């Protein structure tokens, strides 16, 4: 008999599992709370569970954490864990503390098949989807390790926000993602509100529609370009789901979204997508069409990319065009630089089964000539 990993179940799944053991649903609620709210993995610790249930569980189930390969703490308090997911694959998880929140950036896949030009994970290729239990094990470990480290009182939360912005494309691992989101939202689980859980996607249009129906959390869409030819180059998935279709899906999503805007992420690449002309094209694209917020991300360079980060002046000039057009625009602060924990730098170590490393060595992207950049006003933020 295979031993079930209880981290693989949302509450309904756990109730069904308990029923198969001949137990009532309220037992599942108790068990679920022990696991996710108290961080317990040993059934013997779960003192209010009947002895008979504890012994049934002992043979049939376990709470299976991920092995921690390393943990790095940045000078700014950012923490990065590298978890072993077996078969020579590792994924990364990052905690970003701020005054009013603690955000955990969670991975959904070992590697990624989308292969964006500016992303270190994309350059590694795809190895495999994570199971629900592997997605949740990142949150489970981080929450309980941080509570112990920070000396929090029982009931206090270290993690107030989750962003699916680690390694992988969450909407290409949909079946495992949705139960994991449900556990994050469940009052008996992590109790996070839908606006504090964000799925970030490179634009898997049919799955954006499904997420709207199944579990409408906050949505961030990685746009990165104001037109199809450039987006085709940067985000190869655009060839399948071009910008027009993507924006239509965003508009549909807004009907169910917990916020009244979609966040568009835009990675600022020197001379590639960062001119005032690109900004004006972007304004034309989204204005009056989709209620949105623009989040400009300074590119985090890594050696194989052949790309450079836009200068601050350039980012500010770009932001200024958007702000003047009435678009709420933020520039993401880079955190955890000293431990390579920034967005797009998460590399883990994955077995590339797609040979992405070879595919990536293509002609460089055309770099446009720089006009004079001017400084403008913008807000700073880390993540929403
Ligand atoms: N696959 C999803 C979520 C993971 S990537 C997605 O693409 O949205 C999370 C964010 O980091 C995305 O907006 C992605 O475009 C951005 N990103 C990737 N590589 C980056 C890099 N090198 N520098 C800055 N941001 C990067
Ligand atoms: Fe995958 Fe997102 Fe990286 Fe693109 S940016 S390769 S979709 S993880």
Q: Average pLDDT of 31-59?
A: 94
The CATH H-level (homologous superfamily) assignment of domain 67-383 is: Aldolase class I (3.20.20.70)
E strand residue ranges, the chain: 4-5, 61-62, 67-73, 79-86, 89-98, 101-105, 109-111, 126-129, 161-164, 197-201, 218-222, 262-268, 292-298, 328-332, 379-381
Task: Output the residue whose Cα is nearest ligand 1's atom 20.
Answer: 344
Mean pLDDT, the chain, rounded, equals 91
CATH number given to 4-62: 1.10.150.530
Report how far ligand 1's centroid is from the alpha carbon of 88 (Å): 23
Which atom of ligand 2 lies closest to the CA of 109?
8
Q: What is the pLDDT of residue 373?
A: 42
- 91-125 confidence digits (pLDDT tens): 999 999 999 999 999 999 999 999 999 999 999 99
| Active-site residue, from 112, 250, 292, 343 | 343
Would the pLDDT of 189 be above 90? yes
Which atom of ligand 2 lies closest to the CA of 122?
6
Task: Write the Ramachandran bin of 77: left for phi over 0, alpha for psi from -120 to 50, otherwise beta.
Answer: left
Q: What is the pLDDT of residue 215?
A: 98
Q: How confident is the model at residue 1 (pLDDT cuts 50, 70, 90)?
A: low
67-383 and 4-62 share a CATH fold: no
Could you tell which of 129, 167, 200 is best to mutate to test the pocket of ligand 1, judged by most ligand atoms within 8 Å of the CB?
200
Domain borders along the chain are 4-62, 67-383
Which atom of ligand 1 lies closest to the CA of 166?
4
CB 221 within 8 A of CB 201: yes
Residue with more model confidence, 171 or 2: 171
Please tell me the number of the ligand nearest to residue 299's CA.
1
Would the pLDDT of 43 be above 50? yes
| Active-site residue, from 18, 23, 92, 250 | 92
Would the pLDDT of 79 be above 90? yes
Q: How confident is the model at residue 378 (pLDDT cuts 50, 70, 90)?
A: very low
List of long-range contacts for 32-38, beta carbons under 8 Å, 24+ apart: 32/186, 32/188, 32/189, 33/188, 35/6, 35/7, 35/63, 35/140, 36/140, 36/183, 36/186, 36/188, 36/189, 36/190, 37/188, 37/189, 37/190, 38/154
Residue with more model confidence, 132 or 333: 132
Q: What is the pLDDT of residue 186?
A: 98
Quote the percentage of the chain above a pLDDT of 70. 91
Q: What is the pLDDT of residue 372?
A: 45
- Tokens for 92? 């990364």
Q: What is the pLDDT of residue 377?
A: 37
The yes-or-no answer on residue 112 being catalytic is: no
Would the pLDDT of 358 be above 90? no
- 284-304 confidence digits (pLDDT tens): 999 999 999 999 999 999 888
Q: What is the pLDDT of residue 59?
A: 87
Q: How confident is the model at residue 336 (pLDDT cuts 50, 70, 90)?
A: confident
Count of all residues that appear for the chain in the document: 384
Q: Average pLDDT of 355-361?
A: 71
Q: Is the pTM of this model over 0.75?
A: yes
Quote the percentage of the chain above a pLDDT of 90. 82
Q: Average pLDDT of 200-221?
A: 98
Would the pLDDT of 204 be above 50? yes
Q: How confident is the model at residue 345 (pLDDT cuts 50, 70, 90)?
A: low
């Amino acid at each position: 008999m295979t031993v079930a990993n209880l981290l693989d179940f949302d509450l309904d799944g756990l109730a069904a599992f308990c029923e198969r053991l001949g137990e009532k649903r309220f037992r599942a609620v108790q068990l679920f709370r022990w696991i996710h709210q108290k961080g317990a993995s040993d059934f013997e610790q779960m003192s209010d569970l009947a002895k008979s249930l504890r012994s049934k569980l002992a043979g049939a189930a376990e709470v299976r954490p991920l092995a921690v390969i390393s943990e790095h703490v940045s000078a700014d308090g950012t923490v990065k864990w590298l978890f072993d997911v077996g078969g020579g694959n590792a994924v990364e998880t990052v905690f970003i503390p701020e005054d009013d929140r603690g955000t955990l950036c969670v991975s959904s896949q070992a590697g990624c098949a989308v292969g964006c030009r500016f992303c270190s994970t994309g350059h590694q290729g795809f190895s495999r989807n994570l199971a629900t239990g592997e997605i949740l094990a990142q949150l489970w470990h981080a929450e309980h390790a941080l509570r112990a480290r920070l000396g929090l009182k029982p009931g206090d939360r270290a993690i107030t926000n989750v962003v699916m912005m680690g390694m992988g494309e969450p909407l290409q691992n949909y079946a495992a993602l949705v139960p994991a989101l449900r556990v994050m939202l469940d009052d008996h689980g992590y109790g996070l509100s839908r606006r504090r859980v964000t799925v970030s996607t490179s634009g898997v249009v049919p799955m954006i529609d499904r997420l709207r129906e199944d579990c409408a959390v906050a949505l961030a869409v990685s746009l990165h370009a104001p037109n199809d030819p450039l987006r085709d180059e940067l985000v190869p998935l655009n060839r399948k789901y071009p910008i027009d279709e993507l924006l239509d899906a965003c508009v549909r999503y807004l009907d169910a979204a917990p916020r009244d805007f979609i966040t568009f992420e835009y990675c600022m690449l020197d001379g590639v997508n960062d001119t005032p002309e690109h900004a004006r094209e972007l304004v034309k694209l989204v204005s009056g069409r989709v209620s949105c917020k623009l989040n400009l991300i300074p590119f985090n360079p890594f050696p194989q990319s052949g790309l450079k980060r836009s200068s601050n002046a350039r980012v500010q000039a770009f932001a200024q065009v958007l702000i003047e057009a009435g678009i709420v625009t933020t520039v993401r602060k880079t955190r955890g630089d000293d431990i390579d924990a920034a967005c797009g730098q998460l590399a883990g170590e994955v077995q590339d089964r797609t040979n992405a490393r070879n595919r990536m060595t293509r002609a460089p992207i055309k770099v446009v000539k720089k006009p004079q950049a001017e400084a403008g006003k913008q807000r700073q933020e880390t993540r929403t």
